[in-house]
Structure 1
């Protein structure tokens, strides 16, 4: 006797296709999720790499900045040392000139003239004092102009006996002169005079 399959084969086929479709869809979703996870991991790795690189660059920049500060400090200290050396050198050079200056001031002061104050700025010398008469001041200026170590005497103030007289009958004066150096080389003298003209 023959067997007849009464089950709805079309319904079974539809269910099978539906099951296959969902399985394929599930596989696609899983693949998409895996791809997304891999992409996210790659992005995170790149971010982490960039962060590490940024941290390294910041560290190197900090080291360079520190070295720059150290170099600037060294340059500042070097400039200060050079300035001190220049001052010491100028003092050593000008020491004999100061001795000659005071020696010449003693030699050039005529009788009846008394110095009260002496100041110097560079080669400019200011002399203040008292004199028994204007003629004594004139004699003092002539002596200065004859000196080898002091020159260009210029009278700035003289308070004559008619305007102001002390109890001793002396007049007050202030004159300016320039310190000279007869031992200086001609080019040094020309350089100093040229600098003075510019200023």
Structure 2
């Protein structure tokens, strides 16, 4: 008789505990599943948010790089314009120089000197002409040297053997163009 259970309450208690355990297990599984789903949704949301921020930053970086390139282009254009303006200003300031230069050459040429050609390279001026005598060429060189706009005349060639210039000497000389900035001040100091 020891194996016969006359009291079914133990069986009912065991079965009630089994049901409670199964219910708790199912509840824990549901809570765990919900937690996993919540964490997954949260992580997906955070990843999407970070991707949106990254995309915004990439777009902003592209915009800034484009603006930087435009700024570089503007700086390059500005430098080109400043260089052009400088050239124009130099031309504007040197415009009266050519008038003074030719006036000085014309005033320096004595009677008997005829100029055939004048060319300028930098501040060097090459003059070719014909003179009735070597003395006229010397006087021309002295006059050029005493000029405020010209200095350091050097005779390259003097030739009296050319047939097309009878009784005349063909000459070629080089002279340096200067700006008379110091000479007028010295003259004003004397006056």
* TM-score normalised by L of structure 2: 0.69
- 2-side partners of 1:21 and 1:185: how far apart? 117
Q: In the superposition, relative to structure 1, how do residues 134 and 25 fare at CA in structure 2: closer, same or farther (>3 Å)?
A: farther
What's the RMSD between the two structures over aligned residues?
Answer: 3.5
Per-residue deviation, 1:100: 0.8
**Equivalence for 1:125:** 124
Which SS does the other structure have where 2:180 is aligned? Answer: coil
Aligned length: 177
- 2-side partners of 1:58 and 1:154: how far apart? 70
Please list the CA deviations of residues 34-87 of structure 1 after superposition, one character each: whole Å capped at 9, or x if unmatched: 111111111111111111112222222233333333333333333333333333
**Equivalence for 1:63:** 63
Please list the CA deviations of residues 100-148 of structure 1 after superposition, one character each: whole Å capped at 9, or x if unmatched: 1012122323535644341142xx1231425568766544332211112
- 2-side partners of 1:172 and 1:7: how far apart? 150
- 2-side partners of 1:184 and 1:172: how far apart? 29
Alignment of 1:83-162 (within 5 A): 83-110=83-110, 111-112=112-113, 114-121=115-122, 124-129=123-128, 137-155=137-155, 157-158=156-157
**Equivalence for 1:197:** none
- 2-side partners of 1:135 and 1:43: how far apart? 104
Which SS does the other structure have where 1:148 is aligned? Answer: coil
**Equivalence for 1:21:** 21
- 2-side partners of 1:69 and 1:17: how far apart? 76
Structure 2 gap ranges (5+) = 186-191
Alignment of 1:175 onto 2:174: yes
**Is the Cα–Cα contact under 8 Å of residues 145 and 152 in structure 2 kept in the other structure?**
yes
**Is the Cα–Cα contact under 8 Å of residues 125 and 175 in structure 2 kept in the other structure?**
yes
Structure 1 gap ranges (5+) = 187-199
- 2-side partners of 1:79 and 1:184: how far apart? 35
- 2-side partners of 1:71 and 1:134: how far apart? 64
